[in-house]
Amino acid sequence: MALETTESIWHNGRLIAWEKAQIHVMSHVVHYGSSVFEGLRCYAQPQGAGVFRLEEHMQRLLDSAKIYRMPVPYTLEELCSAVVDVVEANGVAPCYIRPIAFRGYGEIGVNPLRAPVEVYIANFPWGKYIPGTVGADVCISSWNRLAPNTMPSLAKSGANYMNSQLIRMEAEINGYSEGIALDVNGYLSEGSGENVFVVRGGVLYTPPLANSALSGITRSSVITIAKELGIPVVEQTLPRELLYICDEAFFSGTAAEVTHLRSVDRVLVGDGTIGPVTAAIHEEFFGIVNGTRPDRYEWLTPVKVPVAEAVGV
């Protein structure tokens, strides 16, 4: 998924040219992974485009920064406005949006408190994250998610994604689309960049956040949709083997959206096709974000991008 450049990137309150968005090699983030970030999607709508759950994503960015004692010099409202500004300035939708705050150039050493905080927001075209069209073939990773009280799993930090990289690389090398990590006690946690849902007996299960899972925005959207559809939702600790005997399973996330799992460790999930619960949630989710169903939860923030660009191929 090679990057497609756009014209501008938002940096500390102003738009700069894409090629000017550079940092010094001695910036703190390069040496110590001191960054927090977000991933959002802007979807094509019949009459324009809309950013999905903008405020919730930017609040999570601020929450991640707070956990790491990183003072972001912008309010929630300013960050939300900045996202809209950069999408409209580049005129690219649908697109992926990447806000990031990090410790920049100042002092060397583990202590980050004297390094300045830089904030950038970029957007660019980005398609399907999980490869394939008939469901994902995934594996249980040999790498565990972070143990409690080591690094904060509720923070979406760059350093945490070194763990994710190990999970994803192992999966790809062994011929899988993605890997699922267990927590330190051997219970289901999440994928390298996705939350996990399992269906058994008509009930939708997902691991609680205490199992070292990120508080996913799409995860919460899936739970909201499921409850409205009358599907029972249970957040509880789940054993690995449930993935082998469940009726359905799927990933959720900004990048993965709602992607059903065809197999886990070469064991078919159900009959390998998308199941009725997953299909109902998938249909409702994409209906809302693509504008074919009402945005009854007010999840979409409109952006002024020409309709021809927003819905064109």
Catalytically annotated residues: 156
Bridge-based pairing of strands 40-45 and 95-103 is: antiparallel
Q: Quick one: angle between helices 217-228 and 276-289, nearest 10?
A: 110
Helix, strand, or coil (residue 217): helix
Instruction: Compute the Cα dihedral for 64, 67, 69, 72 and give only its sign.
Output: positive
Rounded Cα gap, residues 56 and 156, in angstroms? 13
Rounded Cα gap, residues 54 and 80, in angstroms? 7
Q: Please name the amino acid found at residue 248.
A: E
Range list of β-strands (E), the chain: 8-11, 14-17, 35-37, 40-45, 48-52, 95-103, 117-124, 136-140, 178-182, 188-191, 195-200, 203-206, 233-235, 248-253, 257-264, 267-268, 300-303
Q: Which two tokens stand for residue 70?
A: 């990183």
What is the 8-class DSSP label of residue 209? Answer: G
